[in-house]
Chain A
């Protein structure tokens, strides 16, 4: 990611000193790599506009870098801020009803009770 010139964003409600963020560019190679990870086909004509959007989103989330979080544990379950939130286990038994036909009915393509996909092994 490299820094681009031009646009400057000022964020509402920022405490002093105000957050001024340089708009970064989100270069086409990075965008293409991420789009591939996310399995979304982005037409070439949309790469530039989407790159601008992504750059402004990154400018926003980059505010996190300025926060001193040394010694702070990441919080993944919100209520664990007040106590342990152990994962609940259940008995290893079948509890879901047989919804085979209803599930297959939503699939784009099925045959003999199976989901059909393009051939992956020659």
Chain B
């Protein structure tokens, strides 16, 4: 095992690049220029929505001045790209929607501000499903993102551009958001590492709102160690987000916890001793692709071989997470997206009779088909006569699901299973069948409804050489342990180091 307190990551990882920056082997400007050149070469992926070399190089030069002044930090001078859900001054913020095609935010999201303060250099804004609604990135108004492992396939969604940009080696890190799996599922399908933190860890200020009781920002990178550096910088109490957590558990250092976990002593070949892993039987039911099942089981076998105890558990309402989520998220979306009325910002139709007609036509023209379906679903489940039967019932089922996780986590430390039932499917395969797409979210939705942290860690490939992700679910505030367990797993495996051809 490598020394836990030093950047130990491979070349191209944040830890590796940071080493080169502090030793003077490279500069923030050189790294930024390299990323910009790769964006140019990989345009066919359609991962980026806005690039501005002038803005990027100015940030890179500022980072180089800080390095020259002797400042040190794991993220100082490292390139990053932001999902176009995070608002940015200077760069357009579209949320993947025609509604916001020309929108430039007057302020920066807290996450953007924090990563810049840590010295990261923004190289652009990343494509995503419109308003983060989708599991394939095909719902972007600006075209689908291609999976770097197979350009005929989806990269997953909604943070598809964020996952593709890291997998293709364009940037070592990106930001994403997760409402029902939008960090974990694209990370799995593109073969990278990502973590959705405990609800309330990362400020939602400046994150274009989809479903406010579910939305959480998080990092995507090659390694778990890189995710630890990134999440440590992104997380923290923010007065400007009413649901930002300020409890002592929420304020404890993620990086400190991660390093302490890594440093704990274990006999050789027993690095996972005392770790109890729960396997929910519902996550291994019929319908799981055989290759996915086999690779996830192989990962579990490796944990067991290195000392972990594996326990069978049950999350009996796994299937019910789908209807509960697809009531609650659209309900919140219909409320959040009512702000797009063509008055203060966003698209306004050219041709209208009166104010109501202007609003209805502006929304019809500016919002895509899936966003409209979710707004309509939300308006329906909140409407008179249906509120109790759908919305309140979904929230009651939400409590049962969250309680199921608490019961399961009394028997084990972490829960593991697949992130998604299949590997990346072909572009267009499910785009005309919204419900078929919703069913793909089965293993990620429950975690979101419960507000728990969840990770995706590369654990192998299927027979078509498409990446597979292992999901690691922890209890509230247990991100340091999850990241450490994933980091130790990555010391034993090299799935996270594989790159697609051309990257």
* Inter-chain contact B213/A57, CB cutoff 8 Å: no
Contact at B323–A61, with CB atoms within 8 Å?
A: yes
CA distance A13 to B283 in the complex (A): 9
A44 lies within 8 A of chain B by Cβ: no
Residues of A within 8 A of B (CB): 9, 11-15, 19, 31, 34-43, 50, 53-54, 56-65, 67, 69, 72-79, 81-82, 87-88, 90, 95, 99, 102-103, 105-109, 115, 117-120
Contact A76 B239 (CB under 8 A): no
Q: Is the interface of B mostly helix, strand, loop or mixed?
A: helix
CA distance A81 to B327 in the complex (A): 19
> B399 to A72, Cβ gap below 8 A?
yes
Across the interface, A41 reaches (CB within 8 A) one of B364, B406, B435, B452, namely B364
Instruction: Identify 15 residue pairs between A and B in the complex whose beta-carbon atoms are under 8 Å apart, listed by A's number.
Output: A12-B421, A14-B319, A42-B364, A50-B373, A54-B380, A56-B434, A63-B319, A64-B324, A65-B393, A67-B393, A75-B395, A78-B214, A81-B450, A82-B476, A108-B347
Are A73 and B403 within 8 A (Cβ)? no
**Contact pick for B399, options A9, A65, A74, CB 8 Å:** A74
B392 proximity list for chain A (CB < 8 A): 74
Q: Chain A residues with Cβ under 8 A from B282's Cβ?
A: 13, 15
On chain A, the residues within 8 Å of B316 by CB distance are 15
A3 CB, nearest partner CB in chain B, Å: 16
The answer to whether A72 and B400 touch across the interface, beta carbons within 8 angstroms, is: yes
CA of A61 to CA of B327, assembled, Å: 7
Could you tell me which B residues sit within 8 Å of A by CB distance? 103-104, 106-107, 198-200, 213-214, 239-240, 242-243, 245-246, 282, 285-287, 316, 318-320, 322-324, 326-327, 334, 338, 341-348, 352, 354-361, 363-364, 367, 372-373, 375-381, 383, 389-390, 392-400, 402-403, 406, 421, 433-435, 438-439, 442, 449-452, 476
Q: Is the CB of A106 within 8 A of B103?
A: yes
Say yes or no: A61-B390 contact (C-beta < 8 A), given A37-B383, A75-B398.
Answer: yes
Q: Is the CB of A105 within 8 A of B104?
A: yes
**Are B334 and A38 touching (Cβ within 8 A)?**
yes
Instruction: Decide if B439 touches A11 in the complex (CB within 8 Å).
Output: yes
Which partner residue on chain B sits nearest A120 by CB separation?
A: B355
Known: A67-B393, A74-B392, A118-B358. A60 touches B435 (CB 8 A): yes
Residues of B within 8 A of A120 (CB): 354-355
* Cβ A117 vs Cβ B390 within 8 A: no
Are the CB atoms of B376 and A40 closer together than 8 Å?
Answer: yes
Quick check: A64 and B397 within 8 Å, CB to CB?
yes
Cα–Cα, bound, A31→B380 (Å): 9
